Amino acid sequence: MSKILNFGSLNIDYVYGVDHFVQPGETLASTSRNIFAGGKGLNQSVALSRAGGEVYHAGAVGADDSKVLLDEIAKNNIHDDFLKKRDIASGHTIIQVDKHGQNCILLFGGANQSITTQEIDDTLSHFNQGDYLILQNEINNIDYLIKEGSKRGLKVCFNVSPFTTKLLDLPLELCSFLIVNELEGAAMVGLKEDTDPYVLIEKLSDKYPNCAFVLTLGSRGSILKEVGEDAVSCKSFKVKAIDTTAAGDTFLGFLIASLSRGLKGKEALKTATAASAIAVTRKGATPSIPSLEEVQNFLKETTVEVLVDKL
């Protein structure tokens, strides 16, 4: 099984339950407040590990405020050999979750934005061709990570979130996997947001012919397009959503870990879809991420076929 290096963010999440998202000029009383370990990077590492991957997390946290983050790393059997402590604050977020389970997020980068190229070189030297490198847009030096990871033969998997047009200046053609939602994908190829998803994924594949793509479509499902293969479509499982905070990170973690364990694309996609369906029925980020056993039991018990010819 390939090793998985996640060079990603770690954030302390302050999660507030609200009736609706706060509006300009409005003071709104929250119905609840919880503090969780999170960040797209940490969420994905937890999902990767719970999905059966051998996971190493690289990144940076504050020396004084990071206990909740380091505890989560240890609890989930994630290797912390390449995790640095800084004399600055850890990254953190303010998350509103409304009564429908939707969220909006305010992000402060903190230590996540302090990664040096020397630390990247030192870390990558411990991994070999065929290992996976997972990236998200919540740390600095993404450009360098993509170039160096690709140069060393790692399978670079980039979740282009949070999306900005500056990401289009990155050497995305060097990535093995690009994980995008329909808004991000449309922006990457200059198409309208309501473009047919099958047209969109073909345009993405044409622009980046050496990349596999996963196009996520929210409650409709997702499409996987591997290099040289036909697109695979997967509907979402119908569940009652409570909190969607870590759904995308859960999906990515189970997808990549499944591939690293040797599953074929369509089975990895179905497994990831089941994992994210379980996650949205629970509150919080890392607390919502299921174990591989839970996901396998979910798939055994369901009678719904989600792999379809077309969404």
Active-site positions?
A: 249
Number of H helices, E strands in the chain: 9, 14
The dihedral through the CA atoms of 291, 269, 53, 8 has a sign that is negative
* Distance in angstroms (rounded) separating the CA atoms of residues 185 and 216: 9
DSSP annotation string for 171-190:
-GGG-SEEEEEHHHHHHHHT
Residue 239, C-beta contacts closer than 8 angstroms, at least 6 positions apart: 277, 278, 280, 281
Environment class of 163 (CB within 10 Å of its CB; exposed 0-12, middle 13-18, buried 19+): middle
Cβ atoms of residues 168 and 143 within 8 Å: no
**Separation CA 76–CA 66 (nearest Å):** 16
Could you tell me the two tokens for 185? 């994908």
Looking up tokens 């905070």, which residue turns up? 245
Contact 97, 16 (CB under 8 A): yes
Strand, helix or coil at 243? coil
| CA–CA separation, 179 and 254 (whole Å) | 13
Query: The tokens of 155 are what?
Result: 């399978």
Residue type, 139: I
Q: Where are the alpha helices (DSSP H) in 76-173?
A: 117-124, 142-151
Residue type for position 304: V
Please name the residues in contact with 149: beta carbons below 8 A apart, sequence gap of 6 or more.
124, 133, 135, 156, 174
